[in-house]
Structure 1
Amino acid sequence: MDFASLLGIISGLALIISAIFLGGNADVFLNVPGLMIVAGGTIAATLLTVQFKDVLNAFKAAWIVFTRDNTNPQEMIDTMLELSRVSHRHGLLKLGDVESDSHVLKRACNLLSEAASEQVIRNTLQNEIDSLIARHHSVQDVFRKMAAYAPAFGMLGTLIGLIQMLSQLSNPETIGPAMAVALLTTFYGSLLATMMFLPIAGKLHARTLTEVTNLEIIREGCISILTNDHYMHVYEQLASYLPEAQRKPIKIGRKQQQPPAAKPAAKAAANPVKERA
């Protein structure tokens, strides 16, 4: 699981729950009708706005983001340097035998092995980038809409509670508890929006930026390999996608300049490229 996400969820919930218990009776913060209004209303409004499959895809994507680590751009640069080494040793045709967990990288290797033109490779991978951005935007939009609907339904629940409270003004003893119950729905809506929906949308957006960077590295790396650039030149072009502090320097040996921290191809977790025997 992503450590930052786990830390954020635990620390945020711990602080809120601690504040509730330190403030007095925690039972007053539980109101089933208020939860029904906020949670049920938010889900209903979201389903009215987007298709049901889009909502399911959004929650599936959120689960993947919070449970799986994304490929680091530095690892993708190392992968492209390894592919450059393979192409120089065995030719572009050998890249067709490369196996990868990334379907985009596998597709790019197939295009290289088939001697596709630079324009074909550039257009194909750019289409992959554009479609990824579009898919991820629709997923993020679901959580942004839910973040907007939750506080609105919280206010709606508060209005319902206030109406019920005002109908019983003849009994002053019920005004205080009724007011507390009315305000709980606003609390539920704000909590769901700020602690759940908006952070998930932000995490998905950050993951999208990383994945787009990886695809751009694949695109530019494949074009450099196609033009038979030396892998030192490949590295110089791809390193610009990383902040300077995160770039690994190329080690220059006696025989050949080696890519930074090149890992064996058999380690699919660190380097998704594997050559078939």
Structure 2
Amino acid sequence: MIKKFGTINGLLLGIVSVFGAFIWEGGAVNALFLLPPMLIVFGGTFAAVIIGFGYENFKNIFKLIKLAYFPPSYNPHPIINTFVQLAFKARKEGLLSIERDIEKIDFFFCKKLLRNAIDGTDPETLQDLAELEMKTIQERHYSNIFIFTKMGGYAPTMGILGTVMGLIMALSHAGAEPTTLIKSIATAFIATLWGVFTANLIWLPIADKLKKCHLDEKQMMQLSLQGVLALQSGEIPVLVKSRLVSMLPQREQEQIRR
């Protein structure tokens, strides 16, 4: 549970740190929530995404945000244990004997590879198909990640644009009361604050989180491919386990071997 909601906790920590420091210094939070600068930053950033990537891709960003904050859980340990059990059965009763066990596997990519193997697809062709799918998925995932990386660049620029506009308005009232002029200048910089804030605590972290989700899924796909190839070649269960465990980080390998 802590792992799953780590992203939300990080966002809350960032909000508390930034706005808490502002309040600590005697600032009023309502002074930061001004609609004109926020409209420039958020509206301008979204407009840039629509122009650069199209409306269809823009619609997907809200699903991707949800995915970043509530990512699927990929645990490699159960799938390794599953392949070890399948290896026992396949060596004893043949590869066709594991057909009924496929539905017990949750990971769809793994199921598909096992079905292809049982249907008689040779290892070389199976590996080519799996690598092609992994490459296609990587291209699609990285195109989504690129959108948020660009948003992390658009937002501060829109913030600067809002600040320049605010300063123009402030200077146009240069003959007014000094307090009014100072207040207008302070208001102008709020756009920059929102631009930098959203870039560094929302858009760029989402891009990093989506990249981590991709790497976790990629690891599961690679484990699945190696597991199926091991079953096809008739490797003994101990060797199957060693092969798959070697693909994990060293700390996880040590935990499994204890």
Of 16, 19, 31, the match for 1:17: 19
**Equivalence for 1:41:** 44
CA distance in 1, matches of 2:89, 2:53: 46
Match of 1:232, SS state, is helix
Of 243, 246, 251, the match for 1:245: 251
Write the letter of the residue equivalent to 1:166: L
- Residues 93 and 112 in structure 1, CA contact (< 8 A), matched pair in contact too: no
**Equivalence for 1:167:** 172
Check 1:249–1:199 CA distance in 2 against 1; reply closer, same or farther (3 A cut).
Answer: closer
Residue 52 of structure 1: how far off its partner (Å): 2.2
Residue 46 of structure 1: how far off its partner (Å): 0.4
CA distance in 2, matches of 1:104, 1:143: 27
Q: Indicate yes or no: 2:91 matched with 1:88.
A: yes
Write the letter of the residue equivalent to 1:135: R
Match of 1:126, SS state, is helix
The unaligned stretches of length 5 or more in structure 1 are: 252-277
Q: Indicate yes or no: 2:236 matched with 1:230.
A: yes
CA distance in 2, matches of 1:242, 1:33: 50
- Residues 41 and 158 in structure 2, CA contact (< 8 A), matched pair in contact too: yes
Residue 61 of structure 1: how far off its partner (Å): 2.8
Of 120, 127, 135, the match for 1:115: 120
Residue 102 of structure 1: how far off its partner (Å): 2.2
Q: Indicate yes or no: 2:134 matched with 1:129.
A: yes
CA distance in 2, matches of 1:219, 1:213: 10
Identity %: 27
Write the letter of the residue equivalent to 2:161: L
Moved over 6 A (4+): none
CA distance in 1, matches of 2:249, 2:71: 23
Residue 23 of structure 1: how far off its partner (Å): 2.1
TM-score w.r.t. the length of structure 2 is: 0.91
Write the letter of the residue equivalent to 1:73: P
Residue 245 of structure 1: how far off its partner (Å): 1.9
The unaligned stretches of length 5 or more in structure 2 are: none
CA distance in 1, matches of 2:82, 2:59: 33
CA distance in 2, matches of 1:19, 1:4: 22
Higher mean C-alpha deviation, range 131-140 or range 87-96: 87-96
Q: Indicate yes or no: 2:57 matched with 1:54.
A: yes
**Equivalence for 1:272:** none
CA distance in 1, matches of 2:64, 2:88: 35
- Residues 95 and 112 in structure 1, CA contact (< 8 A), matched pair in contact too: no
Match of 2:74, SS state, is coil
Of Structure 1 and Structure 2, which has the larger fraction of its residues in helix? 2
CA distance in 1, matches of 2:61, 2:31: 33
The CA deviation string for residues 98-138 of structure 1, in whole angstroms up to 9 with x for no partner, is 11332211111111111210111101111121111111101
Residue 249 of structure 1: how far off its partner (Å): 4.3
Match of 1:241, SS state, is coil
The CA deviation string for residues 131-160 of structure 1, in whole angstroms up to 9 with x for no partner, is 111111011111111111000000000000
The CA deviation string for residues 144-190 of structure 1, in whole angstroms up to 9 with x for no partner, is 11111000000000000011111111113322101111100000000
**Equivalence for 1:179:** 185
Write the letter of the residue equivalent to 1:227: S
Q: Indicate yes or no: 2:218 matched with 1:215.
A: no
CA distance in 1, matches of 2:8, 2:30: 27
- Residues 74 and 242 in structure 1, CA contact (< 8 A), matched pair in contact too: no
Higher mean C-alpha deviation, range 138-147 or range 61-70: 61-70
Q: Indicate yes or no: 2:146 matched with 1:144.
A: no
CA distance in 2, matches of 1:96, 1:61: 35
Write the letter of the residue equivalent to 2:69: F
Aligned pair count?
Answer: 251
- Residues 71 and 213 in structure 2, CA contact (< 8 A), matched pair in contact too: no
